[in-house]
Amino acid sequence: MAEATDLLTYVCAACGVEQTAPVVPSMCKGCGETGEARDFPTRETLTIREQNDQFRTGLVLPTGCSLPGTVVVTAGIRARGRDFETAAYLAVAKDTAFTEDNDPWGDHGFGVVTVKDERLYWKIDLYDRALEYGSPEPTDPAKTHRILTILFPSEY
C-alpha to C-alpha distance for 104 and 154, rounded to whole angstroms: 20
Assign residue 32 a region (left: φ > 0; alpha: ψ between -120 and 50; beta: otherwise): left
Q: Residue 129's pLDDT is what? A: 96
Q: Which residues contact 118 (CB under 8 A, 6 or more apart)?
A: 80, 84, 152
pTM: 0.88
What angle do the packed helices 82-94 and 43-57 form, to 10 degrees?
A: 150
Q: Which residues contact 138 (CB under 8 A, 6 or more apart)?
A: 44, 48, 126, 144
Signed CA dihedral, 99, 102, 105, 109: sign only: negative
CB 125 within 8 A of CB 132: no
5-25: buried (b, 16+ CB within 10 Å) or exposed (e) per residue? Answer: eeebebbbeeeeeebeeeeeb
Vertex 124 angle, CA 142 and 75, to 5°? 120
Q: Residue 103, Cα to own-chain centre: how many angstroms?
A: 8
What is the pLDDT tens value at each position of the chain, 156 positions in all? 445 568 999 999 999 999 999 999 999 999 999 998 889 999 999 999 999 999 999 999 988 899 999 999 999 999 999 999 999 999 999 999 999 898 988 999 999 999 999 999 999 999 999 999 999 999 999 999 999 999 999 998
CB 108 within 8 A of CB 45: no
